């Protein structure tokens, strides 16, 4: 039976502006959030500015069942100055999610790349005493998590704490230098106390890959051994057109499933441009120059390869009931961060929708994979 959903216009306001209503959904065959059925959440990363772009906002409301704030919930965005919290832009995203019956994912409570300097360092860049750094981290997490209590389904508590090299095991960050290796455990402890009902995740790139997986498992086991809550692991999924292989990704998923955890693909995109280093999101791997072959558009041959790659990956993901969410890191090619990483100013095409917000062949591949993998009779995602 074909399901047609008519969404009534909503009168919710965000900072005096109407929240764009969800558009009329054509049929279950044409939207990601309906194609998933009850099987999983399908989401996208957004900014508060996206909410003010009517065409993009309508597409997001139509296609996705959950949102992740791309930047607005990161520590430096919420508390750039100590003790001064700025929730307005993040609140706008949360209001949009609520208005359109979407789940909200909090990203992230602790990350070295976008933490204010004062949180873990003194004015000269030296590590703060442990007790002061811990107090700063605790105050930030408690304030943020309590502010969004009942509004956020789950939190990426710590992001990208694991080193890419073999030693040290954890990345040498300001938080680790000030607090010690247990800064990760403390962050999970503080988050759970602030909202005992929220799910808690560890999020990182390339932790599904052979070279990094064992270190991620070590951290997860330490969190569990400390008696702390951890519900799931976020595999970011910044993948490329031809790598990593599906078999290696599957090995990673199986390893985390074996720990009794939910698995989320939290920042999925597929880079079609060449780069010197492989897949991932290490911001330290930026490149000063690189080829930019698709300025005029993606050739049909590459478009079909992208569709096949998305189809293969979603086909894999749908085989695991423990995968409860897939979030794309952006909605359209015009908004992807990969236009500026690892080389600034290139024209990338990694998403399911093009620069005119039109569905690409990859979109249809994902729809087919979602429909093939969902339980029979599942017509739509139930709120949870």
Strand partners, 271: 240
pLDDT at 284 over 70: no
List helix spans (H) across the chain: 32-35, 54-63, 75-78, 88-99, 130-147, 174-179, 183-194, 210-225, 246-257, 300-317, 361-373
Give the N- to C-terminal CA distance of the chain in Å, as an integer. 24
Pick the catalytic residue: 160, 189, 199, 208?
160
What's the pLDDT band for 166 if we cut at 50, 70, 90? Answer: confident
pTM: 0.89
What's the pLDDT band for 287 if we cut at 50, 70, 90? Answer: low
Each residue's pLDDT tens digit, 350-377? 999 999 999 999 999 999 999 998 765 4
The pLDDT value given to residue 6:
26
Residue 301 designated active-site: no
Each residue's pLDDT tens digit, 89-114? 999 999 999 999 999 999 999 999 99
Pairing of strands 17-18, 41-46: unpaired
DSSP output for 7-47: PPPP--EETTEEPPPPPPP--GGG-HHHHTTTS-EEEEEE-
Q: Interior CA angle at 307 toward 306 and 309, to 5°?
A: 65
Residue 167 designated active-site: no
Pick the catalytic residue: 72, 189, 208, 267?
267
Dihedral angle of Cα 128, 129, 133, 134, to the nearest 10 degrees: 170
What's the pLDDT band for 183 if we cut at 50, 70, 90? Answer: very high
DSSP 299: -
Query: What CA–CA distances, in Å, run from 92 to 19, 75, 87, 105, 330?
Result: 9, 17, 9, 14, 17
Domains in the chain, CATH or no CATH each? 13-373 (3.20.20.80)
The pLDDT value given to residue 286:
59
pLDDT at 5 over 90: no
Q: Helices 300-317 and 246-257, interaxial angle, to 10°?
A: 20
């Amino acid at each position: 039976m074909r399901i047609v959903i008519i969404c009534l216009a909503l009168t919710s306001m965000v900072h005096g502006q109407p929240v764009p209503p969800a558009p009329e959904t054509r049929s279950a065959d044409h939207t990601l959030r309906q194609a998933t059925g009850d099987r999983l959440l399908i989401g996208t990363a957004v900014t508060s500015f996206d909410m003010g772009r009517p065409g993009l906002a309508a597409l997001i409301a139509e296609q996705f069942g959950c949102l992740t704030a791309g930047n607005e919930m990161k520590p430096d965005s919420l508390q750039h100055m100590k003790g001064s919290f700025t929730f307005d832009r993040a609140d706008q995203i949360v209001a949009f999610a609520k208005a359109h019956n979407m789940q909200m994912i909090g990203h992230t409570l602790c990350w070295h790349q976008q933490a204010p300097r004062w949180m873990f360092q003194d004015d000269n860049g030296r590590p703060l005493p442990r007790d002061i750094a811990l107090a700063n981290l605790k105050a930030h997490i408690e304030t943020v998590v309590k502010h969004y209590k009942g509004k956020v389904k789950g939190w990426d508590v710590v992001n990208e704490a694991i080193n890419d090299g073999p030693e040290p095991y954890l990345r040498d960050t300001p938080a680790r230098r000030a607090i010690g290796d247990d800064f990760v455990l403390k962050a999970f402890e503080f988050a759970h106390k602030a909202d005992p009902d929220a799910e808690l995740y560890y999020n990182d790139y390339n932790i599904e890959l052979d070279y990094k997986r064992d270190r991620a498992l070590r951290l997860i086991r330490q969190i569990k051994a400390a008696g702390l809550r951890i519900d799931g692991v976020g595999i970011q999924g910044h993948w490329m057109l031809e790598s990593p292989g599906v078999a290696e990704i599957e090995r990673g998923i199986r390893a985390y499933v074996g720990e009794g955890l939910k698995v989320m693909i939290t920042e999925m995109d597929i880079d079609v441009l060449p780069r010197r280093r492989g897949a991932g999101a290490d911001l330290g791997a930026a490149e000063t120059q690189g080829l930019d072959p698709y300025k005029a558009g993606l050739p049909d041959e590459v478009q079909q390869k992208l569709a096949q790659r998305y189809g293969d990956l979603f086909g894999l993901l749908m085989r695991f009931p423990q995968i409860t969410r897939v979030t794309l890191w952006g909605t359209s090619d015009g908004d992807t961060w990969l236009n500026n990483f690892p080389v600034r100013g290139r024209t990338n095409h990694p998403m399911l929708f093009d620069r005119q917000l039109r569905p690409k062949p990859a979109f249809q591949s994902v729809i087919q994979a979602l429909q093939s993998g969902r339980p029979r009779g599942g017509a739509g995602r139930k709120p949870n």
